[in-house]
Amino acid sequence: MTGLPVRGRRPVVGVRGGRGRGWSPAGRGIGAPAWRSAVGARAGATAATGPRRRAVLSSLVALVVVVGIAAPVGARAHGGALLAAADAGPYRVQVMASRVEGAARPTIDITTYVSDRDDGRPIEDVAVEIAVRVDGRDVRPDVQRIGNGYEGLVPVPDAGNVRAYPVRVAVRGSRGLGDLRIDPPTEPGAPVVPIIVSVVGLLAVGLVVRRRVVGRSAGRRDDAVEVGDA
């Protein structure tokens, strides 16, 4: 219901008050203080949780970045598993392994990076031989130069665990000979870095979802208070 417009003033919208209180403008009568308090409390809660949420999410992102930086450089560059990084004669040898996707049969990629043992500079004038022990015999793949590494593709019965096969790498160059033997680990190590990154990501998603659910619940409670007071 509305009251009569008064010249020079805006029309007043009102509701009938109880027990002879007469007309009162909407938003100024019964329930108005509670409604305003609810709106103010909700705005205050949103303003208070905003900075905390941004701080928490910033911390999670920083943790993910730190974990990523802590991963071996060679592993990130090649995308495989680090089998070994050790001195072999006058050389520093790093051996990576990865599963070859889309191959006609199970195959693993063995890539070797050779650098100077003293100053760490990459060495590109060496010959690299790779031998992988498969079913009791040594498989010696053709080794190709790939970027600053030496790659060999080895067919295996199961490419799911690239650490399951003994590997030997021989390096020959003007600086001398180097030989590195890599035995499979007694117990396969869990991929710690991917697990940590996954857990942190799940925690971040869960935090965002929880904040949204709490915000929606608070909004529904405020609406219920407004309707009840009206």
The number of domains in the chain is 2
- Is residue 190 assigned to a domain? no
Q: Give me the pLDDT at residue 106, please.
A: 95
Number of other CB atoms surrounding residue 155 within 10 Å: 16
Can you say how many angstroms the Cα of residue 85 is from the centroid of all Cα atoms in its chain? 26
Q: Give me the pLDDT at residue 203, please.
A: 79
Q: In terms of residue numbers, what domain contains 105? A: 73-182
Report how far residue 132's alpha carbon sits from residue 104's, in angstroms, rounded to the nearest whole number: 19
Statement to judge: residues 82 and 44 lie in one domain: no
Statement to judge: residues 176 and 79 lie in one domain: yes
Q: Which range has the top average pLDDT, 43-52, 100-109, 207-216?
A: 100-109
Q: Give me the pLDDT at residue 14, please.
A: 47
Statement to judge: residues 149 and 108 lie in one domain: yes
More confident residue, 101 or 64: 101
